[in-house]
A and B are shown apart, each in its own frame.
Chain A
Amino acid sequence: MYDFVNGPFLWIAFTVLIFGSIWQIGSLVLRSRRTDKVFFDHAKPGWMFASIVNWLIPYGSRSWREHPGTTVLTFAFHFCLIFAPLFALGHVVTLAYNWGVDWPSVSDPVTDGLTIVFLIAAAGLLIRRLVKPEVRIVTGPADWLLWAITILPFLTGYLAAHKMLLTPDNMLMVHVLTGGIMLICLPFTRLAHAFLFFFGRAFIGSEFARRGTKTW
């Protein structure tokens, strides 16, 4: 089991992530050539860019500014979600050892910090979902499940690094397993907003641009 998870399963997960995403994006782009004349007639690269960038900056859009608390949680959540795994010493060393590719890493205490901030932000978003009626009414089982799928790799990574709960090997296996599951789910669930975000913003930026209207 341990060998399978750390070997073939991980390969499968990355393959599904990459090809699944290409397939999702490719099929949408092809469909859009056929069905979204309104976009291609009025595409304005400057506005697409502005509409993406301003939403990637904390408080860069009017909507972010009007929701200060949610903005902090969202940005903390996504920043740590991307940076903790990308620069975790364990990940970088594993890759360097297996593939010989290397990039800078951060020290373990920094990774710990990012992970803890991530978990706090995730808890905050969960509480928001539970407490605010307007969020609860549109929250279904899939939302809870995806939340769990997203935080589990971080929780297990932290536990593995600190040799807690299970034996280090077993916890590491659970960590890789949950991480792989998240990667597999990404192209096919709402997690796909990771890449759909850019296309959605590009479209709306352009669509409103022809009406002289900012979307940030």
Chain B
Amino acid sequence: MSIVKAATKAVAYTGNSAVAYAMKQIDPDVCAAYPITPSTQVVEEFSGYAADGEVSTEFVTVESEHSAMSACIGAAAAGARVMTATSSQGLALMWEMLYIASGLRFPVVMATVNRALSAPINIHCDHSDSMGARDSGWIQLYSETVQEAYDNIFQAVRIAEHETVLTPAMVCLDGFITSHAIESLFLIEDSKVKEFIGEYSPKHSLLDIENPVTYGAMTLPDTYMDLKHEQSRAIARAKDVVVQVGKEFGELTGRTYGLMEEYRLDDADVAVVVLNSAAGTTKVAVDELRRKGMKAGLLKPRLYRPFPHEEIREALKGVKAVCVLDRADSMSGFGGPIFTDVRSALYELPEKPPVVGRIFGLGGRDFKVKDAAAVIEDLFKVAETGKVDALTKYIGV
């Protein structure tokens, strides 16, 4: 039985304020950031904490997100614990540097407040920003609620800095839906936060002139691939660390986290797979349909990179049909990214359920309970007839 040692009084916070508050409690050595909607308040409030001396963080204002991530990388090379936040175009502008942070194995932690990518320009939620970074070698944790976003930030620090991982991590939460909505939040006491995250002790520091090292040296065909192999194995190891850290976090707060959340999935005939806030909406639809006797279930991946393919396969084994909802289109002509990943993971099953992909909610288009219910009802038709009329399609258009 876990003993809840932390404060149990709820406060009302937006997702952005919760993330900024978590960053304040972590008190990183360096934060280099450039504000962008809808993650602006994370940077704004954190810069307030820095200006008021509530953190000891060196807060670096930069002229772009490319510079923000570059400064984070430079600070990480110096041995600092580094955090930042961004959204959408900002993340896209960081693209080059994302790969450098992960390739150099710097455990930078970043809040990614999900927003659509241009063009056409749009400030509202979808996952095209973080999905575009899914192969950048960053760990990706997704958050349904303000509480999950807050909790994930602390865990991301532990996961990224774990000696077997040493890989940057981003915590994703839905722009406006989660970033600007006020929800009740259980804060963790500062002392408990400190105890949980511990000290970061990097192996090297560029500022250690007694022991000079070279970062970012040229590598050629005789070494590049070996380094990528090590990086690939390191991010794969993050999966076990996520579970271990999630368990420890549960011991501290009573809120245990795993690789995914399974909602009424045990005896489900059909399952919907969806990330972030839309999972909350879908849970309501699952409950409604369950009341009508329809056994629907939900799988909400929390860790998306590395992709927990074995666990997802195990969780979906036995369902008669699966619908993967993507809030991003990979423009591959074959649906969204989670669809292809989940479908590929299920290929190992001796009895493969039909798996359909649906793109929803782009650029902040509403995804309501009735939309989730319609998805599930269609899924029952697929399960009953075995017929799939559209393997992938947009819904809500």
Q: Do A and B form a real pair? A: no
Identify the B interface with A (CB < 8 A).
Answer: none
Identify the A interface with B (CB < 8 A).
Answer: none
